[in-house]
Each structure stands twice: as structure tokens, then as C-alpha cells.
Chain A
Amino acid sequence: MFSVLVCDDSSVARKQVAKCLPQDWHVSVHFAKHGREALNQLDQGKGDLLLLDLNMPILDGYETLQAINDLNLNTKVIVISGDIQPEANERVRKLGAIDFIKKPVNGEILRETLVKHNLMAGEENQEIEPESLDQDIRDCYQEITNIAMGRAGDHLARIMDVFVKLPIPNVNLIEVSELHMMLSDIETHERVTAVCQGFLGAGVSGEALCILSDSSFSDVARILKVTEEVDDQIQLEMVMDAASILIGTCLTALGEQMDLHFSQGHPVVLGQHQSVNDLIALNKVKWRRTLAIEISYGLEGYNVHCDLILLFTEESMTTMNSKLAHLLEDD
């Protein structure tokens, strides 16, 4: 993965720069407090791109650029500085920086700069105007999900004999890039095992994703009274069991409320111990927008996190809305 190193002595500035990185740009981000730290990290290969401040203690921006030249380190440098004198700009370019952005940095300019230097290949401004979901419709989806989710939770609780913490379901109309973000959000720095299953009813179709974080397995094994060693095989069993119950009951309950019957395809294992980004990186964009219902289940007293994500195709919403018209008309 492409890596970006943000070097600034102020933690506020570091965070601000990181926040301005385009959100659909999948990179690993590293931080350094001054030039010396930055050089160490570059040496470890953590920084295909360096976003560098100029005024810093220990080793400032100019000295860092000089050192990069002397050490012949392979990195591209964009300077981000409050020092906007023409002289500063000229000096850093002479030292090899490819561009200069003035502080405070904003997302638009950073994106333009990245595109200009071909750092974000092929990801030029194809932004689609985000369209938000009508509040009434969202409430309505949220309500039927609440009911479905409660039932799925109850089923899981009865089968596993545990108390299931029910969250508030998250209902959103999302773009491809946001799905990436949402999934990355679920388990930052964590490895997961996921199962996905297609479903189909008259005029409504989509996919259900059931994601279990790898750290949950030891507790799930305890709940299911698994005595064998928890190897990949057993872990897959556990995910499949949880997925069968959660997806099955959730879909049945959703279907009942919309007077629909869903057929389910056979579940497919998306990957074991993969990072969430890899999970969907394989699946290059065939769609633009999807209705996503995100439910995060937890078990009381255990370190178990299981996410159920129901993704409906955009076309499904027409049917769903008409099926739910009786709920929408009330007010």
C-alpha cells in the first residue's frame, strides 16, 4: 500500500493534515514529530510521500530535505508550511520538494496537488454529488431494522445463551468510497473474518455481510463451549454459525414487514484474517450507490464484536418504499 508520512512538530497540525487526505485514497498514514524521526521512518520504508513542515526542532524542513538528498532516499516531498515567503518556496523546490502548500491546508488543495503530481492515479474528480436520504424514509428503514435486529439478537441470545447488546442501526445511502470508509471504521487496525450472502425478493435485492473481528474468536469459542484448539477451521465454523442466524432472522423479519420473501444464496467466505480494505479492494466498482444498513452487535461481558451490514441496490428502494408506504403515510 502507498504510505504517507506526515511530519510536523505540532500534533494539531499533524491531525489536520491527516484529516485533509482524500478519504477515498487508500494509504497508510504515519507521523513524525521532527526531521530526525521522519528520516528514521523513511528509512523503514514508511513514506512514499512525505508531507513536510519547515519550522521544527531538532531537524527542520530544509535540513530534512538536504538529508533526503544526501542519503538518496526514495520519497516524494510536498512541503506544507506557514512560511509562505517566495524565498521559502524557491529554496525547498531547489532541495527537491515537488510542491509547496501553505498552511492551514485544506482538502481541496491537497487533493488537487496530489492529482497534479499523479500521486492519486486515475482518481481525479469523479465525485458524484452526495445525495442524502429523505428523513422520513430513513426513519422508516430504521424502524423496520430495529424490529428485525431485535429479533435476530434474541435468536442469537437464545442459541448462545448470552445477553446481546442491541445498537441503534445506522441507515445511510452511501457511495462506493464511503463503503470503504465504513468498513475501515468498523475495525481499525484489526483483522476480521467475513462472510457475504446474496439475497433476493420480488424487486428487492442486495447482499448481507457478516463480519467478526478476529479478537472475538476466543470468547465466541468459550460461549459455544468449543474444547478443541481454535484453528482456522473452527473460526470459520463460528462465523458461518453466527452469520446463518443473524442474516437469516434479520432478513426474515425485514421480509415479513415488507410482505416479501427473500431467497438466500449460499454464503461465500470473503476472507480470513484479512484487513477490511483488502476485503472489498478485490471487488472493483460495479455500482455507484447503495442503501446500507449497519448493525453492530456486542455481547455483554465478552469481547465479541460482530457487524451485520445489509446492502440494498439502489433500484430496490423503489419497491421497498412502496411496500412501506403505509408506514410513511401516517404523518
Chain B
Amino acid sequence: MSIESLDELLEFHWMMDMLQTVDVGIVVFDREFKIKVWNGFMESHSGLLPSDVRLKSLFSLYPGIKKDWFAQKCRPVFELKTRTFITWEQRPYLFKFPNYRPITGTEPFMYQNITLSPLVSANGKVDNISMMIYDMTDVAGSKKQLESLQVLRSEEEERINNG
């Protein structure tokens, strides 16, 4: 093996390591929604090993995800090569994971922002989607607190005005 190809191999190795350890969930799946990549974040939070999920359908692993709904989100990604997004405000989570902070966290589960991004194959078609899962629990918690304070304030105001 030449030095260059060894270097490339080593580089590939640490790049894979980076994908594995980044604190964002990364899942790659194909047009049949069969899982091809399941990184460390997903493994830790779901308790499922990459070997447990490989080439299994997303819907068989997570029956809570409605197929029609999710397929509709993926359609523009496959067909138009655009990204689509799902916010926690729209749907609190796609994968029901426990809170990252089990002791001091206020929310029972992890709120998630999801990005669906096209992966263009060598033939120019999108055969796979890379899905990124971001932990939004802190943001969601703060927003809920703020809203409840606003409600309290308006109730207070009403009481003062009526009293």
C-alpha cells in the first residue's frame, strides 16, 4: 500500500470518528427509508446499536412516526433536492429520547429540530437523505416558561383592571 493511500485511509478514519462523536444526531436512509448510518448520538440516546438498525425500516423501529406524514416531508428532498425542516414547535420530537440532563432537566423528553438534507449520488439523483437531529430541549423549556409568565401577567393585569 502506498503512503498516499494509507494517509487517505487514516483521514477517512478520523472523519468517520468525527461523524460518530459529533453531538448532533445523524441518520442516513434511502428511498425505502432503510437506515444506512446511525451515529454515536443516535446510539447513545436510543440505546440501539448501528448493527441493530442497519437496513431496517425507520417505521418498523419507530412505529410512532407516521409513514405518510414523514414521506411527505421527504418528497421534496428526493425530488427537488431541497432541504426540509421540522421544528420542535411543530412536532416536539421525532424520536422519543429521554432528556439529556436526567437530573436537573425540567422536560421529560428531548425536544428536537430536524433537518432533512439530500445526498446526491454519483448519477446526480438523490438516493439517500441525511437527517440531522438537534437537541432543542433548553430552548423549548425557556419558551414554555416565558409563555407561562406572560399568561400570569395578563391574568394579573385583568384582575387589576376589574378590581
Contact = CB atoms under 8 A, between A and B. Distances in A.
B79 A233 contact: no
Contacts of B115: 266
B85 A267 contact: yes
Contacts, number: 55
Interface string B72-99: 1101100111111111011100000000
Given A155-B76, A266-B134, A240 B81 contact: no
Given A244-B76, A266-B113, A252 B87 contact: no
Nearest to B114: A266
A155 B84 CA distance: 13
A267 to B, nearest CB: 5
B139 to A, nearest CB: 10
Contact of A236 (B79, B84, B90): B90
A240 B90 contact: yes
Given A155-B82, A245-B82, A267 B87 contact: yes
Contacts of A269: 87, 89-90
Interface residues of B, number: 19
Nearest to A159: B76
Nearest to A244: B84
Given A155-B76, A245-B76, A248-B76, A264 B83 contact: yes
Interface string B90-130: 11000000000000000000000101000000000000000
A158 B79 contact: yes
A233 B90 contact: yes
Nearest to A249: B82
A155 B80 contact: yes
B142 to A, nearest CB: 14
Nearest to B82: A248
15 contacts: A155-B76, A155-B82, A240-B87, A240-B90, A244-B82, A245-B76, A245-B80, A245-B82, A248-B80, A248-B83, A266-B87, A266-B113, A266-B134, A267-B85, A267-B87
